[in-house]
Amino acid sequence: MTITDTPASTRSEASALDLGPATHLSCRECSATTELGPYYACLECFGPLEVAYDFGDVTREKIESGPISIWRYKDLLPVPRNVTEVPNTEPGFTPLLKADNLARELGMKALWVKNDAANPTHSFKDRVVAVALAAARELGFSVLACPSTGNLANAVAAAAARAGIRSFVFIPSNLEQQKIVTSAVYDTTLVAVDGNYDDVNRLASELAGQYEDWAFVNVNVRPYYAEGSKTLGFETAEQLGWRLPEQVVIPVASGAQLVKVDKAFRELTELGLVAGGGPAVFGAQASGCSPVAAAYKAGHDVVRPVRPDTVAKSLAIGNPADGPYVLDVTRRTGGAVEDVTDDDVIDGIRLLARTEGIFGETAAGVTVAVLAKLLREGKLDPDAETVIFNTGEGLKTLDAVTPVVGPAGTIAPTTEAFRALVPEAEN
């Protein structure tokens, strides 16, 4: 499992690995190539590695005849060709809902919500974990692990249970009881660590170096893991009838999701599966953790780390690994990165729920509120076809709205009492 410096072509020919169309790993900074393996940092420059492919012939018809899950795109992912034959949580192909009510309120012409709360553990993390697990097995790992504060922990614990393999999930010891339960129920080995998420993350990196059978999904198999987010882009295009939207708004935590969705759109275009140019890509952050938005607004190419303080905990990454790439994508496509206050986040959750019957987590509130702010500021075209991503489930962040919603009142069980409470109800 050490990185050699032989040419990529030699390496992939020498390999007996089946990772589908993946041919090698490529450094996102210096473009040096590395053979497929459990590598995540370039030996030349320590830059992040990314999967490179030779896709061959991929057609709409072949995709459409596949399963109703992310595996319909397996020919575009770094996973074994028989991936559907191994038990997995079968995430993806979540609904793309036309959001006419929300569009009307915001003065927009055509808006859709990609609703990833429909995934097995109700966040987009099921996608990336499923791809990471499939690649990890092929790479010879026998244990799945991660540091996490919530959605990722749920997804790893559930995916490992379904696959019948052992898992270890590392969390900060001060995590909410609710998030502990929703991981521990899958019988993962849950380890509470005295410290903050940075401490947990550092411990995970150290353990990844010592336990060589362990795949830490977001550490040593991260290049494969991150590719899973492409499926959000593939599905959006297919569900629009093999078209790309004109604008997309995507929440930014590490930034990997936004970058990979853009990559998906470009791959579909290059393969001739969709026509025309890609959308303007907009990033959404909470003001309490908005290092990428700050860099965007300041015109910087680098992202200065911050200490997160926001209700949107699933987006609270103060030092986002893909931050610079988010800046590249949003600037190249004519998008932007914007941020909103925690009050706006709560309003965003409620607006989406009230207009479309979708109860998203705090990250969804960020996305909806940023959409509204971009429209107010004239940075997003209200007449262009727009897709926003709801990446998680409101049931996991109930505390955010608990103080502000509730019953109209409490009454005795009589029709008279009801009429007194709601006199305007018609009969």
**CB of 115 or CB of 247, closer to a copy of itself:** 115
Binding residue (CB under 8 A) for a copy of itself from 8, 44, 60, 211: 211
Radius of gyration (C-alpha) of the chain in whole angstroms: 22
1 touching a copy of itself, by CB under 8 A:
no
**CB of 110 or CB of 203, closer to a copy of itself:** 203
Instruction: Give the footprint of a copy of itself on residues 169-198 (CB under 8 A).
Output: 171, 173, 177-178, 180-182, 184-187, 189-195
For the CB of residue 169, give the shortest distance to a copy of itself in the complex, in Å. Answer: 9
The answer to whether residues 183 and 147 touch, using CB atoms and an 8 Å cutoff, is no
402 touching a copy of itself, by CB under 8 A:
yes
Burial class (CB in 10 A: 0-12, 13-18, 19+), 261: buried
For the CB of residue 243, give the shortest distance to a copy of itself in the complex, in Å. Answer: 18
Report the distance separating Cα 252 and Cα 317, nearest Å.
9
Three-state DSSP state, 53: strand
Residue 117, both tokens: 């709360």
Binding residue (CB under 8 A) for a copy of itself from 302, 378, 408, 423: 408
Report the distance separating Cα 325 and Cα 229, nearest Å.
15
**CB of 338 or CB of 356, closer to a copy of itself:** 356
Three-state DSSP state, 249: strand
β-strands 49-53, 22-27 pairing: antiparallel
Instruction: Give the footprint of a copy of itself on residues 83-102 (CB under 8 A).
Output: 87, 89-90, 93, 95, 97-98, 100-101
Binding residue (CB under 8 A) for a copy of itself from 28, 60, 162, 300: 162
Largest CA distance in the chain: 83
Instruction: Give the footprint of a copy of itself on residues 357-396 (CB under 8 A).
Output: 357-359, 393-396
Q: Could you tell me which residues come within 8 angstroms of residue 68 by beta carbon, excluding any fewer than 6 positions away? A: 93
Category of 164 on φ-ψ map: left (φ > 0), alpha (ψ -120 to 50) or beta: left
Site string for a copy of itself, 316-355 (x = CB under 8 A): ---------------------------------xx--xxx
Binding residue (CB under 8 A) for a copy of itself from 54, 276, 378, 415: 415
2 touching a copy of itself, by CB under 8 A:
no
